[in-house]
Amino acid sequence: MQTQIVHESIEEYKRYNKVLEGNKRYVNKKLAGDEDYFRKLAKGQNPKYLLIGCSDSRAPPNEITETDPGEIFIHRNIANIVIPTDLNINCVIQYAIEHLKVHNIIVMGHTCCGGIKAAMKQDSVGGLLDLWLNQIKLVYEKHQELINSFADEDDQINCLCCMNVREQVLNIWRNPIVQKSWQDGHPVMVHGWLFRVETGFIEELSLEDSIPEEMSKIFKIKFNPPKNQSPKQYEDEEGNAISPMRARRRFQRMQSRIETEIRHFTIHMQNVNEEEIENKIIQDIEQDLNV
């Protein structure tokens, strides 16, 4: 018994030490490309994205997106859940929006998720985990008919992974911090990703239809502007004032159209310069918004 414990402890220490050795190689690699790399990094961060992902070790955000430290502000928990009353995640969202000034929030789920699979089972996984997984069970209950329509269990799990991402995106849209950022003139867009562990690719989820008008009305919050300060005024093409909520929906439509048009140009057109693409997209968007 003692011999086995000693042997396993030595092996675990070797693995632990391997991580520290990897850090040294990482530092040397970065310094070889730029001897001031870490001094520049120490001056501050200016990330463009907040990513809320799963704690799963197979889904490291920086590695799968080939981004460097300082480019993505990251929060991770089991099954990438956004609980409205979670102080931790709300502090992350507030800091990202109000201090880092990010304009994009990404919820990233992944296939083969152990938390999602456990939520579909009736067996207890123990203590706080059962309580945490109740959040996913609520999503499962809501979309049970669709999920159970798949015969294969892996397909059911991956479907629930997608539905879970969609639900957490909705929770972010409902968040008062996000809503207030629009009133203050800081538009924030929310995206849903599914990282496919079995292929390594990220799949963008179509979420426009998941944000119904009814939800916007129910969860819309009217904020009082600070004294001596008026709320940000948005205007349409004719110069008429529109509400932050309506501006958000227009911005969503515009973003969706831009993404669609860019993909179209990328697939169907070659040797077209950037200015031509911009002019064409602007014309299409103006026509779409005036319909």
d(CA 74, CA 241) in angstroms, rounded, equals 36
The H or E element that residue 277 is part of is helix 274-289
110 belongs to an annotated ligand binding site: yes
36 belongs to an annotated ligand binding site: no
152 belongs to an annotated ligand binding site: no
Give the active site residue among 7, 58, 246, 263: 58
Give the active site residue among 54, 159, 161, 162: 54
Give the active site residue among 75, 113, 159, 248: 113
Among 51, 46, 45, 96, smallest CA distance to 202 is for 51
Give the active site residue among 7, 36, 39, 56: 56
Catalytic residue list contains 112: no
Give the active site residue among 36, 39, 99, 110: 110
Report yes or no: 193 and 202 within 8 Å, Cβ to Cβ: yes
The residues, any chain, with a CB within 8 Å of residue 108's CB and separated by 6 or more, are 51, 52, 53, 54, 59, 61, 80, 165, 192, 193, 194, 195, 202
162 belongs to an annotated ligand binding site: no
Tokens of 253: 């439509």
The H or E element that residue 106 is part of is strand 104-110
Please name the residue that has the structure tokens 């870490």: 38
Catalytic residue list contains 58: yes
Cα distances from 239 to residues 215, 235, 236, in angstroms, run 27, 5, 5
- Counting other chains too, the contacts that 130-137 makes at CB distance below 8 Å and 24 or more residues apart are 132/78, 132/79, 132/81, 133/78, 133/79, 135/79, 135/81, 135/83, 136/79, 136/81, 136/160, 136/164
Report yes or no: 252 and 211 within 8 Å, Cβ to Cβ: yes
Catalytic residue list contains 54: yes
Catalytic residue list contains 113: yes
| Binding annotation | 54, 56, 110, 113
Report, as residue numbers or ranges, the catalytic residues.
Answer: 54, 56, 58, 110, 113
Annotated binding site for Zn(2+): 54, 56, 110, 113
